[in-house]
Structure 1
């Protein structure tokens, strides 16, 4: 992380009046609530439509309350945990010490009243109370079996087909009438596509969370854009337990909309000084109040099921003596698309382990759905039609995956490709993401039995082992087998839709590949393997290539020395000496980057119009151009030819009529070397460097610089809402009506006269994060850069030090 002031952790007050807090700002609202009772007598299809429309399509959170009346109170209780799992040792996360400590479940539960009281009655602000969070523990099998009978199957963990249950939305017969295969399997789509994977490949994410007053979950997005479901099964009610007084338990949720994710991310970086993808900052109340986006607030109590929209930013604060929750994630075709388009690239950037195997889920879901649809009777049925739609959606994603992994037709064929049967456990040694098929491996960098494997996306980005080149190709599926499956599924889709009004056009894969104008990722890897030099990993490492920021610093230091030397010479009375002419020696394999300094030729992108070249690091930080995008452009024009160069020399030439390019995103910098394999290097882009210094140059007005950027991102979010799902013909969300069940624009049940928003009240007391206020205004980027930096400081210790 680059050095700079960052918003400090400010805990929520014990007596927080949520109603008053929500009413204090127009951008803060309560999330929509519906009851189990209001949907209990309607078909499950209506409930599915409600969840899809409100949570996935419009990207807003939804709370379903009333499950506490359907849960076995004896089973979902601390007494049951003590009796049957009390001696089990679990890792408990110490949020103050940032480490795991081991306790038995019984010991932790017995001491929760003391832990909660220490936080609630904190008097000495100089001593941080213990915050011990028993999180991410495996859900007991007995709990999972019981919940499966109560939670609607489309929402539950690893749901692979419609099942009988007794929860909200169930019919009287307990099972929707779907067509079936010969073996009795319903021909319907799954609620969780993770169930398509073989059991040994699935990610276990049905977890329990037990917390006390003051424990929290920092702001984050769910992994791979998946859908999160969180049910509170138990909480303290304020009555004495085992002769110990307790406080009422609940959890306060802050969530954002799906379509404002870019705006939220920019706000987190520019105003709070934190990278949202690192999941390390818990935003204060003042930060949420000043946010330029809508925040949805939920106070979760026992029986509340919170449905978090995909890509929504969420943070949770636990209150009271005890809260016990069960949470799980689901994968759908929509979340898979978001994962491929956005989330996997973010995970690779910060080297976050991908546990979901998204590309493998697409492959195995297609195989599963193909077998089901082979026995489709051809009758009109909404559930079967939805299955066909998802099947085609998955097929399009599979086509994109094959295109990205296709070798070049203009280069010699790769004859020494190694075959390794797919088992789902091959991950990139740098970014730790799962690798579906083709990747590169280094035979020289073998550390014991551990090989160095790098995914194609990382290699194009300049990441690899120290050898840099001479890596070997490996594939986990025979390419001809993948093409055969593609053709089988394509024919299946074309045959089904041939007499349908819905126009379907899916050419054979060879034609799709021939029509593609951009180079595939695999083709870029082939080219880079030919131009990048091989480095003997057994020899000492050469000095690292300085980044553009480092080059600027070196240039400034040298200029300062020259000025001082010239000043001394001017004041000196000694006679001038005739200086010998000096010739600067330039290495044959280096050229000067137009923005920074000389670099190896293979780290530069050469302009197709002029004789200039830019290094990939400058293109990434200054011009928002990733290496892959630059490499894919055969007739690439440099920023100077496009009249958008931001360097100092170009900006001093007004006759050129240059309009300097303003970076669209703030990069704080992240040291991936701390996470990646120790044999790794970054040869093109140094992600440890920030572009804050460059963005500072574009502050035309100090107080309105980021307000303009936020407004632009807000407009982009509005445009995304209007353009949503135009190809899938989903009904508009303003009014949903089905079988007598009607929802208004907020998807509130209209035939139930009861209020659906619980309004809890407690005294109001808001701490102000000093970082967010400077003379009652936002701190601008200029303030961020110029403010003196110091060690990490808790603002509760000294109110004058609210940033770190």
Structure 2
């Protein structure tokens, strides 16, 4: 394994951190935009929901709606109520100091919160051994749920299926849409869901309405909301500095550091290249110095009771709790916009680190289309407000476009017919044995790798098509069987029914959404299912019942400079037919069987998939999907030692840092990686290219700004002028790292003075 880059260490926040001071003195820090919930009364829910759509969902910026503390029922949102009604309930708290779980009752935790909070002061807050006990991800009390459902704008609430009775801001305003005080007739039939998770059958939904109770020094590491969903977080109660049970308390609040959606790539690259962490792992709370040095804008907010924070999709954020007690309720929402981001960005990243896909995104697309189809079939366009119909149709078209991509990816090759396909009725519970992602329809299963599970049922080895294409599978590698959870004709019928329904309302999209066979013929690349079909033929079968020591054990090589000799003598051994045809990787010069190499269609060069991944940021399926693949050498971008001497060559520079992920502790133990060892980083390739972190980050930032500007212009959103912050890059070069890697000098930034007051 190559040496990893030093990792930035955990640096706690001082109890007397002055938020106003750091925001006022840091050019790339800015307060999160705020509106008062009373403003919703003045302008109506329709205007408010448009603001959320433009500012948070499409604009990708966080938003705070304040003032809900005046609408919360303090008789139930209180520490006393929790003790009275849930004191004996046992929950699993998280010991952030030891990274372990700790079962305890809510009453015991609440009783000891003053002790936990008072252990910290401006002089000892860096002590590593003190306890940080966080009661997080616990179920929200049903009474709290019922009350929040009445006061939170319905379109933003948890599992909102349709318009409903509502007593919160703008419930009685004349400018609000009728649906929020009670719809009737056809208008009620086409009310748009605020959370598409609600379209799933109840047993398939992921419950994510959770409570978080924390004390001074507890925190949530930097992360993005799961599956690119929208985050909603409201502080419902906190200690106020008064005397409780004869003990003095400290005012509770939470400090948030947040980013914009558009900066997700530069944030990810900054985390890996400069801080040495992967933000998809969610294990690092970044220091204030790290946020100051970042080449992107950071939004800061100190959340107090009644502050309702809206988190954009894919926007990184971290939270630090202050005072004796903070109590928050949080949930996530899924919309057509977030589903698209989930399938194109969030899930591929989660797949790399084997993170559970709890939201079943493809299933949400399928069932949401069914829900919208039912709504639109019950009402004529002339029966209701034109704008209401158009909004529903826009969602329907958006979802249908996503579904089209899903179905096309599962189309088999016309030349490789699959007759022996096992059918398992869809229940949403089949997950990939490797990446743990939820599988919607077609996947591969190994008939040889079947063992007993905890429940004494057969534990099959199932692999999703995405993982198999990138070389992940069981040790058998090939001879896997196809399984589908919907009969193919059923999906074809659904596609055609929804297509015809869409064309009734929008005939102008006829050329965009053709019948499925025409759409299939339009594709210029192989489908994901076709790639898997071809790889099943190409890759050899390994009989795991007869273990042998292979003469060519798979081992990734970083570059030709690492090898002492490009050709080594090997002990002669009998080779199976699958290993008879070999080739040499143009980069590392290591002989490999042809099935482990990507062969150029224009020349005789071969590239191993490991070199393509690390040196050129090319995933295995990126080459496999091409009918005619042109290698880096033919594209004049090859960065090997020989090609660098060619004056006509423009060597490719890796666009991002790959730290490598060892997924062996997470994936099914029967798993192997046969094409790319994803544990390996690309740090040597970055070094060869100059390792220009700042230049690479600038490039990511420029691309993010251009894409966002284009999107905002398309949606007629006014752009604000953002001053450049890259000139401040070198001001904070002293971010400490773990003591084992680099000594600490103890001169860490502190912020004396009283806690900041809310920015009005």
Q: Same fold (TM over 0.5)?
A: yes
Equivalent in 444, 448, 452 of residue 440 of structure 1: 444
CA offset digits 1:333-356 (Å, max 9, x no partner)? 000000111111011111000000
Q: Name the structure 2 match of 1:410.
A: 415
Q: 1:795 and 1:541, CA in 2 relative to 1: closer, same or farther beyond 3 A?
A: farther
Give me the whole-angstrom Cα distance separating, in 2, the residues matched to 1:360 and 1:456: 16
CA offset digits 1:601-632 (Å, max 9, x no partner)? 10001111221100111111101111111011
Q: Name the structure 1 match of 2:249.
A: 246
Q: 1:180 and 1:508, CA in 2 relative to 1: closer, same or farther beyond 3 A?
A: farther
The count of aligned residue pairs is 725
Give the conservation status (yes or no) of the 8 Å contact 1:162–1:176.
no
Give me the whole-angstrom Cα distance separating, in 1, the residues matched to 2:346 and 2:570: 53
Q: Name the structure 2 match of 1:32.
A: 33
Q: 1:582 and 1:245, CA in 2 relative to 1: closer, same or farther beyond 3 A?
A: closer
Q: 1:48 and 1:504, CA in 2 relative to 1: closer, same or farther beyond 3 A?
A: farther
Matched, 1:508 2:508: no
Q: Name the structure 1 match of 2:500.
A: 491
CA offset digits 1:134-175 (Å, max 9, x no partner)? 000010111101100000000000000011212123234898
Q: Name the structure 2 match of 1:93.
A: 94
Q: 1:124 and 1:319, CA in 2 relative to 1: closer, same or farther beyond 3 A?
A: closer
Give me the whole-angstrom Cα distance separating, in 1, the residues matched to 2:732 and 2:168: 50
Give me the whole-angstrom Cα distance separating, in 2, the residues matched to 1:480 and 1:344: 27
Moved more, 590-599 or 538-547: 538-547
Give the conservation status (yes or no) of the 8 Å contact 1:115–1:130.
yes
Provide structure 2 residue ranges, at least 5 long, that are not aligned to the other structure.
453-457, 722-727, 749-760
Equivalent in 411, 423, 426 of residue 419 of structure 1: 423
Q: 1:280 and 1:551, CA in 2 relative to 1: closer, same or farther beyond 3 A?
A: farther
The structure that has the greater radius of gyration is 1
Q: Name the structure 2 match of 1:664.
A: 655
Give me the whole-angstrom Cα distance separating, in 2, the residues matched to 1:20 and 1:230: 25
- In the superposition, the TM-score normalised over structure 1's length comes to 0.86
Q: Name the structure 1 match of 2:346.
A: 343
Q: Name the structure 1 match of 2:485.
A: 476
Q: Name the structure 2 match of 1:678.
A: 669
Give the conservation status (yes or no) of the 8 Å contact 1:466–1:537.
yes
Matched, 1:262 2:265: yes
Give me the whole-angstrom Cα distance separating, in 1, the residues matched to 2:158 and 2:570: 72
Give the conservation status (yes or no) of the 8 Å contact 2:292–2:732.
no
Provide structure 1 residue ranges, at least 5 long, that are not aligned to the other structure.
563-580, 735-744, 747-771
Give me the whole-angstrom Cα distance separating, in 2, the residues matched to 1:24 and 1:427: 48
Q: 1:395 and 1:126, CA in 2 relative to 1: closer, same or farther beyond 3 A?
A: closer
Matched, 1:697 2:681: no
CA RMSD after TM alignment: 2.7
CA offset digits 1:332-379 (Å, max 9, x no partner)? 000000011111101111100000000000000000110110122323
3-state SS in 2 of match to 1:119 = coil
Larger RCO, structures 1/2 (Cα 8 Å, 6+ apart): 1
Question: What are the residue-to-residue correspondences of 1:13-412 with 2, within 5 Å?
Answer: 13-120=14-121, 123=124, 127-172=128-173, 176-177=177-178, 185-379=188-382, 380-411=385-416
Q: Name the structure 1 match of 2:634.
A: 641
Question: What are the residue-to-residue correspondences of 1:774-789 with 2, within 5 Å?
Answer: 777=733
CA offset digits 1:567-595 (Å, max 9, x no partner)? xxxxxxxxxxxxxx999999733321111
Give me the whole-angstrom Cα distance separating, in 2, the residues matched to 1:675 and 1:551: 32
Matched, 1:455 2:464: yes
Give the conservation status (yes or no) of the 8 Å contact 2:560–2:587.
no
Q: 1:720 and 1:171, CA in 2 relative to 1: closer, same or farther beyond 3 A?
A: farther
Cα deviation for residue 132 of structure 1 reads 0.4
Give the conservation status (yes or no) of the 8 Å contact 1:181–1:375.
no
Cα deviation for residue 794 of structure 1 reads 9.5
Give me the whole-angstrom Cα distance separating, in 1, the residues matched to 2:260 and 2:124: 37
CA offset digits 1:292-338 (Å, max 9, x no partner)? 00000000000000001111000000000100000000000000000
CA offset digits 1:614-653 (Å, max 9, x no partner)? 01111111011111110112221221222221112332x3
CA offset digits 1:106-140 (Å, max 9, x no partner)? 00000000001112365395552100000000101
Q: Name the structure 2 match of 1:595.
A: 587
Q: Name the structure 2 match of 1:723.
A: 710
- In the superposition, the TM-score normalised over structure 2's length comes to 0.91
Give the conservation status (yes or no) of the 8 Å contact 1:162–1:186.
no
Matched, 1:529 2:536: yes
Q: 1:611 and 1:64, CA in 2 relative to 1: closer, same or farther beyond 3 A?
A: same
Give me the whole-angstrom Cα distance separating, in 2, the residues matched to 1:256 and 1:133: 24
Give me the whole-angstrom Cα distance separating, in 2, the residues matched to 1:399 and 1:606: 31
Give me the whole-angstrom Cα distance separating, in 2, the residues matched to 1:266 and 1:126: 30
Give me the whole-angstrom Cα distance separating, in 1, the residues matched to 2:285 and 2:732: 22
Give the conservation status (yes or no) of the 8 Å contact 2:263–2:704.
yes
Moved more, 130-139 or 627-636: 627-636
Give me the whole-angstrom Cα distance separating, in 1, the residues matched to 2:741 and 2:671: 30
Q: Name the structure 1 match of 2:525.
A: 518
Give me the whole-angstrom Cα distance separating, in 2, the residues matched to 1:120 and 1:235: 19
Cα deviation for residue 83 of structure 1 reads 0.9
3-state SS in 2 of match to 1:73 = coil
